[in-house]
Amino acid sequence: MRRIILLMTVGALVVVDTLLAVSVAGAHKHPTAMAKHPTRTVLIQDFSFKPAHITIKRGTKVRWINKDSTAHTATANNGRSFDSGSLGKGQSYTHTFKRAGKQRYHCEIHPHMKGRITVKR
What is the closest distance, in whole angstroms, from the C-beta atom of residue 51 to Cu ion in the complex?
A: 16
The DSSP-derived string for 41-77 is EEEEETTEEESSEEEEETT-EEEEEE-SSS-B--EET
Residue among 42, 56, 72, 97 that touches Cu ion (CB under 5 A):
72
Subset of 22-51 contacting Cu ion (CB under 5 A): none
d(CA 100, CA 59): 9
**Residue 65 sits in the site that holds Cu ion (CB under 5 A):** no
Name which of 44 and 56 has its Cβ closer to Cu ion: 44
Name which of 60 and 106 has its Cβ closer to Cu ion: 106
**Residue 107 sits in the site that holds Cu ion (CB under 5 A):** yes
**Residue 109 sits in the site that holds Cu ion (CB under 5 A):** yes
Candidates 13-21, 30-38, 54-62, 67-75; binding stretch for Cu ion (CB under 5 A): 67-75
**Residue 106 sits in the site that holds Cu ion (CB under 5 A):** no
d(CA 82, CA 78): 9
Q: What burial class does residue 58 get, using C-beta atoms within 10 Å of its C-beta: 0-12 exposed, 13-18 middle, 19+ buried?
A: middle
Q: Of all helices (H) and strands (E), which one includes residue 34?
A: helix 31-36
Name which of 56 and 113 has its Cβ closer to Cu ion: 113
Binding site for Cu ion (CB under 5 A): 72, 107, 109-110, 113
